[in-house]
Amino acid sequence: MGARLSRSSSDLGAPAILCRSVVTPDELAQHARIRHAVFVEEQGLFERTDQDGFDRDPTTHHVVGYANGVPIGTVRLYRVPSPDGDQVLWKGDRLAVLPGHRHLMLGGPLVRYAVTTAASAGGDRMVAFVQLTNVTFFRRLGWSRVGEPVPYVGVPHQQMSIDLT
């Protein structure tokens, strides 16, 4: 999947924002470092690592977001079985932006990149479980709540969904 530029550095002095699917081992290592910094070190959601079987699955899309060429954010997405079997369902997770860079608002471009990537792969719907503090952010991007919040690694998360068709 090609890179997508969300805004240029000429936009009122804003940094050049680029979201790109991981291609090289170095990019994958950058992806893992950012996630570790956010989910293990900052938030303490995982004791040692947030890595799981989806990280070893070659069909998982790992995405890195850059500001002026510096990797500062991530998201990953992968296909999951649809409960009704009638839809091509994708899941997005591990959305992370390093704390010192959140003011650059890279989260939106990362989510939009994931949605576009899943739609381009023939997806019908995408789901994500998000921390409650991020529900409004996702709703502004066109996502809808599904059900009630549920605990995930000891923290309430809200399932969200977006139509890809």
pLDDT tens, position by position, 36-53: 999 999 999 999 999 999
Q: Would you say residue 71 has pLDDT above 60? A: yes
Exposed, middle or buried: residue 4 (CB in 10 Å: 0-12, 13-18, 19+)? middle
At residue 2, the pLDDT reads 56
> What does the pLDDT average to over 75-91?
92
Residue 86 and residue 155: Cα distance in Å, rounded? 31
Q: What is the pLDDT of residues 99-142, one digit of tens each?
A: 999 999 999 999 999 999 999 999 999 999 999 999 999 999 99
Residue whose pair of structure tokens reads 């995408």 in the numeric block:
126
C-alpha dihedral (137, 113, 62, 20), degrees to nearest 10: -130
pTM: 0.90
Q: Are 150 and 129 in contact (CB under 8 A)?
A: yes
At residue 63, the 3 state secondary structure works out as: strand
At residue 153, the pLDDT reads 87
Q: What is the pLDDT of residues 21-32, one digit of tens each?
A: 999 999 999 999
Our measurement of the distance from residue 128's CA atom to the centroid of its chain's CA atoms, rounded to an integer in Å, reads: 9
pLDDT greater at residue 147 or residue 5: 147
C-alpha distance from residue 80 to each of 7, 77, 84, 92 (Å): 31, 10, 12, 10
φ, ψ (nearest 5 deg) of residue 20: -145, 140
